[in-house]
Structure 1
């Protein structure tokens, strides 16, 4: 399906690679990503020193690692943006195969780091969370299967992609990691909707999710505890949600001041899952709105550019990546303000975490590669090519 990219990347005679890349890339989205990375470093300077002190490490241990992972993520992102859609698809297929096998091995050789969920491989000096890298790869592979099903005599790609989604969701639920499972299912549903899914099927899927949630609630203490905490009328001030809620209230509109926040001394995950609480307390609603605007700009601009795309593979893959990126940010911030139950999900490019930051760089790199300006051709050309 990728061969339907008419002219792939616009080319001028004798034009070097970097100028062509700069001319075709979405500069607004790229700028927003760099700003998010800068915000992550800024908030890491506020949130990570208390944790380093508690663990007997150098003051800037975590921020140095975050900067290192951030540079790795930016390199991976820029390299991926320079690929054509066919190369991105090949990268996703290989990445999906590797991360899927890794997900199968997690129950046997994975670790939970004392958090009650086996999600990581520990190598002593570093750890890897396979599900973070699986997400973008799954989206692109599913988009390829769905677009292939639109060809004459094409395979039942929608059915295959749905089967893959169900298998991955079950593997993630076993960890348990219901947040990532929900994000995988959401990404698939968005792409399936864009591909022309009947409304009745989407309603049936929603009913199935509710039934699965009921089963999980009755059989998983981890899941039930988080749901009960979310539905409780009273918030225990000694829980992470309690600390985060209080910090957001204390921050007000302009915050209590740089370095004056207290939540970072109480929250064990202040530098990861609840980094937005640190932003709200020290910098106030102003910075939180700015962060939301950056994520919104990336998603809206990406979707608007994809609306002009005639290649179904690029349109589906880009839509899935953009929506997954935006929804992950929305879930993280929604948990902090108690609009959603705790999910253990990071804020892309802002939260600390090697797997999360690097995987986000690859995912956004794929998205920017799909949204680069390219000739679309005339509709007559499309009909002629399909008839061949």
Structure 2
């Protein structure tokens, strides 16, 4: 299959992955394309990071509206590239996954609503943000893309918790998510197949998880050597959903530990900075962006080591794909804009909040 310019990852079911099929679908994409994606992501991150929080919020609202409409129109104009999940737009010269750009915009818009709700005589932002989160989660689940739907709900839950939500209410929300998962298991063959594969005590070596598990075991502590790994030639989506298995096989646990440390450092440093932030909107938006960034990495790596059921989610800034990489650059740029050192407002500004 030829990958479009922004096409991040048409991913496969967890059924047997025949080696010949793997050779056809997992051949590494041209590094030049990924270099272009990386350059665009860096530019987006740098430009966004230099903006003021107010400008970031305004642009995020516009981007969110555009991405929301694009996701809503996927059932009409989108394509599944033969994968059974309608997530992409085929633009002829390129392919685009709008849900990747929807996530950072949703976080900022929800943070704005939650912050406005804390103002005196403010709007019911908590209810508005909850309705918005549920609408997006339903749209993503219908694609189906349960991983992204869960990530959206998680980001909203983090911001709601930081905004002071009662723990009992959050527990009720978690119960609602579990209930939704139960319904998905009963009525979605796609979802049920992945859960059954995760709960099975044995790992079929012919599946994606089987190939990934074997690659990680073969890599050991120092890996088999650069370019010497075999899993990338037989594992579908080795360059996207299971890129960490390729890294573990060729570079070993050492590189994986470095990657985990980098992700953890970004999240922890960001949260540490946000703890000192007095502006409610910035604190909520930053927490949502940082935690969703870290959890996406945890989900991707957790799937590869069979700690989580397969989700079809990329590893931020490492997996191949223009949509994921550029949207990640925008999200990290927003986080940098929110955590960048700036003069703190006086108490009157804090009370008045953003208007």
State if a TM-score over 0.5 links the two structures.
yes
2: distance between equivalents of 1:123 and 1:319?
34
Q: How does 1:255-270 map to 2 (within 5 A)?
A: 255-270=223-238
Give me the CA root mean square deviation.
Answer: 1.9
Q: Secondary structure at the match of 2:42?
A: helix
Q: Secondary structure at the match of 2:73?
A: helix
1: distance between equivalents of 2:319 and 2:62?
27
Q: 1:266 to 1:79 in 2, by over 3 A?
A: same
Task: Find 2:114's aligned residue among 139, 146, 160.
Answer: 146
1: distance between equivalents of 2:30 and 2:184?
35
Aligned residue in 1 for 2:68? 100
Q: Choose 1 or 2 for highest CA Rg.
A: 1
Aligned residue in 2 for 1:356? 324
> How far off its partner does 1:62 sit?
2.3
Aligned residue in 2 for 1:225? 193
Aligned residue in 1 for 2:275? 307
Q: How does 1:64-213 map to 2 (within 5 A)?
A: 64-213=32-181
**Residue 243 of structure 2 is aligned to residue 275 of structure 1:** yes
Matched residue pairs, number? 334
2: distance between equivalents of 1:257 and 1:323?
33
2: distance between equivalents of 1:250 and 1:60?
20
> How far off its partner does 1:376 sit?
1.5
Task: Find 1:335's aligned residue among 295, 303, 324.
Answer: 303
1: distance between equivalents of 2:83 and 2:205?
20
> How far off its partner does 1:56 sit?
11
Q: Spell out structure 1 runs of 4+ moving beyond 3 A.
A: 53-57, 377-383
Aligned residue in 1 for 2:8? none
> How far off its partner does 1:115 sit?
1.5
> How far off its partner does 1:268 sit?
1.6
Aligned residue in 2 for 1:285? 253
Q: Secondary structure at the match of 1:338?
A: coil
Structure 2 alignment gaps of length 5 or more = 1-18
Aligned residue in 2 for 1:37? none
Task: Find 2:221's aligned residue among 253, 257, 260.
Answer: 253
2: distance between equivalents of 1:278 and 1:235?
18
1: distance between equivalents of 2:237 and 2:269?
31
**Residue 205 of structure 2 is aligned to residue 237 of structure 1:** yes
Q: How does 1:30-45 map to 2 (within 5 A)?
A: none
Aligned residue in 1 for 2:335? 367
Structure 1 alignment gaps of length 5 or more = 1-49
Aligned residue in 2 for 1:216? 184
